[in-house]
Amino acid sequence: MNFGDAIKINFSKYVDFNGRAARPEFWWFLLFLFLANVVLGLVSNAVSLIFSLATLLPSLAVGARRLHDTNRSGWWQLIGLIPLLGIIVLIVFWVQEGEAEDNPFGAAPEN
């Protein structure tokens, strides 16, 4: 999976919280969101805020699908509300290798 494919897939699954997302799909999309926010922030903070709000649901959806790949519920994203510790736990979950076989959340994604 490359940068462009990850962006297309995640916007086509705008609010799809079902299924699984491989590591490249998740991390390429997060890189896109970060870079777009930096560039838009240079243009205008208001535009950056609007973009962030418009991409909130896709980022939550891909985060949930990434957790599904590690056989965890998407609700684990709520642990991110705990200052510092929560985001560290989420990053550890997101960087873990997904299960190679099917799990209750669906078939293994293609890398």
Rounded distance, CA 8 to CA 106, Å? Answer: 20
SS3 content of the chain, % helix, strand, coil (to 5): 65, 0, 30
Residues 6+ apart with CB under 8 A from 62: 10, 13, 21, 25, 26, 29, 30
Q: Distance from CA of residue 49 to its chain's centroid?
A: 18
H or E, element range at 79: none
Residues of the chain with pLDDT > 70, as a percent, come to 99
Q: What is the pLDDT, as a whole number, of residue 8?
A: 95
pLDDT, one tens digit per residue, over 70-101 is 999 999 999 999 999 999 999 999 999 998 89
Q: 1 pLDDT band (50/70/90 cuts)?
A: confident
As a whole number, mean pLDDT of residues 42-70 equals 96
Q: What is the pLDDT, as a whole number, of residue 109?
A: 87
Facing residues of 106 across strands? 103
